[in-house]
Structure 1
Amino acid sequence: MTTHHLAQFNITKLKADLSNPIMKEFKDFLAPVNLLAEQSPGFVWRFSDESGEAAIDVETPFEDPSIFVNMSVWENYESLRAYTYDTVHSYFLKSRKKWTEKMDSHQVVLWWVEQGTIPTLIEAKEKLDKLEQSGPSYEAFNLHERFTSEGKKAF
């Protein structure tokens, strides 16, 4: 039995405020795509506001208000990968240039948490900063250079 779950945190710099018409498709699909995540095999938890919606107007550890944050916890990498690339979510990855600006830093970080642990935004930003400063390690890694929950490099 696994004692760890996989936390993921990703950020993106939005081209405009979500009330702007160019952001309509992105905003309209936040709830359905989040519901799809919640119904996906291996889903454990996602960051949301008090109503359970995507956390749009929450205070984040970023000074730039155009940084949109997303965080979730999954039973394992395979579940996260399947949701990310094998569902309608992949359309939004492929279409992201419509709504987001290019960033020169890491935008996704993964790390293992004890089963039952809910990560915080502060912890997630620290993990992203660690990845940016030191590169992939067991403590903070990316989709291309992953580590197992036992601390071994995944291939």
Structure 2
Amino acid sequence: MSHLALYTFGVLKSPLADPAPLPREFHDRAGAIYRKIGEHPGYLARAEAAEGERNTHFDSDWGAWGEFAVPAWYGKGRTPETLALAASLSLWTDLRPAFDAIFTGSHREALNRRYDWFERTGHPGYVFWWVPEGVVPTWQDGVSRLEHLHDHGSAPHAFTFPHSFAPDGTPAGANG
């Protein structure tokens, strides 16, 4: 049996440490959204820094999810004062539960506001791929798949909801 890996990446308009209302609003909503998605049927796990870690993404211990990585095109900061990114890495049972979790409720509301918080980079903001059951994808896997998606479009190796694939590589679609 396979599981669906999902890597998301966005470049924020302002660093997370910026006290301005929009970065604060984004930061304040993120925790509640992650908790809600974590309760969704079909959700299996997500990369989380080791308990109590207060470092940047780059300095945190992510355990089996590996060392934190970002796409080559990310050119903003890497310190607590300059970090301007949002990234997630998660595992799902299938496309339908992931679709439902992402496009309903509080996450859908956040998606409707994404251009208030995120730059339009010309790069995809997420990528899916299948992993064998028991395999934990790494941050570097996510970066590689996102860059592949950007360079080559959707394929069984790296895909999006509208152009998705089943674990055997056949086209699936978000409803399939």
Q: When the two structures are superposed, what TM-score results if normalisation uses the length of structure 1?
A: 0.90
In 2, distance between residues paired with 1:132 and 1:51?
A: 33
In 2, distance between residues paired with 1:49 and 1:35?
A: 15
Aligned to 1:99: 117
Q: 2:95 aligns with which of 77, 91, 96?
A: 77
How many residues get paired? 152
In 2, distance between residues paired with 1:71 and 1:143?
A: 16
What do residues 78-131 of structure 1 show as CA deviations (whole Å, max 9, x unaligned)? 110110012211011000111111111122110001112111011111111111
Aligned to 2:131: 113
Q: 2:8 aligns with which of 10, 15, 34?
A: 10
Alignment check: 8 A CA contact 1:13 1:67 kept: yes
In 2, distance between residues paired with 1:17 and 1:88?
A: 22
Structure having the higher strand fraction is: 1
In 2, distance between residues paired with 1:17 and 1:135?
A: 29
Q: Which runs of 5+ in 2 are unaligned?
A: 59-67, 78-83
Offset, 1:34: 0.7
Deviant stretches of 4+, over 6 Å: none
Q: When the two structures are superposed, what TM-score results if normalisation uses the length of structure 2?
A: 0.80
What do residues 4-52 of structure 1 show as CA deviations (whole Å, max 9, x unaligned)? 1111111111011112222111111111111111111001111121138
In 2, distance between residues paired with 1:144 and 1:100?
A: 22
Q: Which runs of 5+ in 1 are unaligned?
A: none
Alignment check: 8 A CA contact 1:8 1:111 kept: yes
Aligned to 2:169: 151
Which runs of structure 2 are paired with 1:7-46 in the superposition (5 Å)?
Answer: 7-20=5-18, 21=20, 22-46=22-46
Q: Taking every aligned residue pair, what percent have the same amino acid on both sides?
A: 24
